[in-house]
């Protein structure tokens, strides 16, 4: 089984297709995941259809150990993902002042690295926060 961190690290300016779009942005289906050493471990998820639409994301397992296991199997299975090639991204809300940056762990973006497809889900039976503070 592949290490998810290694799989995530291999994603460089990769196109990801979202059949349903992202929550609140259902009309935008194709995004590119960009990385830069300047903002690591964060990445930018940029819409290919709308130039001014992008999200700062982070591998959720860097924020919460074993985060991947907190996502119900039904969410992974409903997407037909192979468990060894999946990652969960969390959208970040970047604060102006240190300590104000938070991540949305309640609505992860699930990505199958082999198929380069994704889906955002809402974890309804989770105690995870939509505004988890980064320290």
The pLDDT of residue 82: 65
Consecutive H or E run containing 75: helix 73-77
Torsion of CA 63, 69, 70, 72, to 10 degrees: 140
Whether pLDDT at 5 is above 50: no
**Pairwise pLDDT comparison (34 vs 101), residue with the higher score:** 34
Q: Nearest CA to 109 among 36, 27, 20?
A: 20
- CATH code of residue 79: 2.30.290.10
Q: What is the pLDDT of residues 46-93, one digit of tens each?
A: 999 999 999 999 999 999 888 888 888 888 887 776 666 788 999 998
Q: By percentage, how much of the chain surpasses pLDDT 70?
A: 84
Q: Which domain holds residue 122?
A: 4-133
Number of independent structural domains in the chain? 1
Do residues 22 and 120 make contact, with C-beta atoms less than 8 angstroms apart? Answer: yes
């Amino acid at each position: 089984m592949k290490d998810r961190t290694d799989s995530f690290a291999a994603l460089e300016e990769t196109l990801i297709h979202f059949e349903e779009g992202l929550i609140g942005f259902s009309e935008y289906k194709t995004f590119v995941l960009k990385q830069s050493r300047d903002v690591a471990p964060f990445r930018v998820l940029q819409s290919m259809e709308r130039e001014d639409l992008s999200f700062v994301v982070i591998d959720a397992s860097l924020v919460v150990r074993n985060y991947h296991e907190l996502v119900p199997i039904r969410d992974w299975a409903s997407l037909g993902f192979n468990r060894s090639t999946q990652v969960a991204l969390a959208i970040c809300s970047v604060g102006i002042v240190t300590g104000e940056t938070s991540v949305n762990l309640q609505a992860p973006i699930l990505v199958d690295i082999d198929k380069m497809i994704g889906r955002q889900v809402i974890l309804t039976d989770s105690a995870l926060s939509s505004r988890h503070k980064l320290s």
